[in-house]
Amino acid sequence: MATAKKAIHFPLMENEESKSNGLHPLKDLTKRITEIFGPSGHEQLVRDFIRDEIKGMVDEIRVDALGNLIARKKGTGATPRKKIMLAAHMDEIGVIVTHVDEKGFLRFAPIGGVNPINLNGSRCRFANGVTGVFGREVKNTSNTEVKLDKMFIDVGATNAVDSTIGVGDAAGFWRDFADLGDRIVSKAMDDRIGCVVLIETLKQLKKSIDDVYFVFTVQEEVGLRGATTSAFGVQPDLAIAVDVTGTGDTPEANRMAIALGKGPAIKVKDSGMLAHPAVKNLLADTAKEAKIPYQFEVLVGGTTDAMAMQTTREGVPAGCLSIPTRYIHSPSEMVDFNDVQNAVKLLVATLSKAVRLE
């Protein structure tokens, strides 16, 4: 049984460097939230960070039994008002320790969709601040053979007794934020960038006709679990997930009509859901009216919280606004900063008017 470790709040510490780093405020928010530890099932630090960011801007804020953060902004329209739910997941993919050998090397299992090709030589970080390096067995394996059960984590321990990490401890990728100008790179853009979009939308949304629920969900990467329970509780009349999507704009990429810098992507379909046509059209028509660039997304593999929200109770008209992202589920996920800002503009424009599904 693993010994409980006290989580270190290292990503949340404010210092003179963070106050004077010269980043655009939205980039600074992205840096701070992506560098927080938060694999699926371990979202507490992310939740605390978001709650501090949005307190005072909503009429009600609560945490449900599973750990979802649910914030309600009351509408100005006459009752009964529609309930609109926006969802972005707080969790990131990660790993969990299954065994510590006599030399202190850790074996692990994935939390979410971990691709072993992204791991060798990369770093991870545990809740107590310990950094680990992913390595792989090389004896009797080829250079092209990369499997999770042939990999391990090296935390610098010399034996099992000295290891400060034990069975059941979870880790997330570790790579610091990088500002490349229009492009920004970090671990956990999936889906902290969606959380950033929701936080900034809340900040910019002066008023709405309808009640808007900003929901920051847990455990999306392991089965859309937070969206399932939170949507059941909120009972929305309309739901929009904000998440990442892949692109087709890198060399020899799979054909996909999504590129960085061409606007947020309005989902048409993914492997788990068909977007409600009226929700898709609402977002597209609003983008046209506001002259906001956008793309249509058809994703062959993968799905989002929209699937869970769509199928809650007797069904909910649901869609998804996606941030085009390169190198998803790697330690260095890349987005275009203009796409992020335009996603905020589109949501603010959509929510600032009476929502009608036609």
> What are the φ/ψ torsions at residue 203 (nearest 5 degrees)?
-65, -35
**3-class SS of residue 83:** strand
> What are the φ/ψ torsions at residue 62 (nearest 5 degrees)?
-150, 165
Q: Quick: pLDDT tens for 79-91.
A: 889 999 999 999 9
Among residues 43, 200, 220, 221, the one annotated as catalytic is 220
Distance CA 1, CA 16 (A): 40
Distance CA 33, CA 156 (A): 27
Q: Give the pLDDT band of residue 14 (cuts 50, 70, 90).
A: very low
Q: CA-based Rg of the chain, rounded to a whole angstrom?
A: 20
Picking from 294, 313, 164, 145, the residue whose alpha carbon sits closest to that of residue 228 is: 313
Tokens found for residue 3:
């010994």
Q: Quick: pLDDT tens for 93-121.
A: 999 999 999 999 999 999 999 999 999 99
CATH homologous superfamily of 94-173 equals: Peptidase M42, domain 2 (2.40.30.40)
Q: Return the domain boundaries, the chain.
A: 17-92+176-351, 94-173
Q: Quick: pLDDT tens for 120-166.
A: 999 999 999 999 999 999 887 777 778 999 999 999 999 999 899 99
pTM score: 0.92
| DSSP structural state of residue 26 | H
Check if 35 is active-site: no
- 8-12, 70-74, 245-249, 300-304: which has the minimum mean pLDDT? 8-12
CATH topology classification for 17-92+176-351: Aminopeptidase (3.40.630)
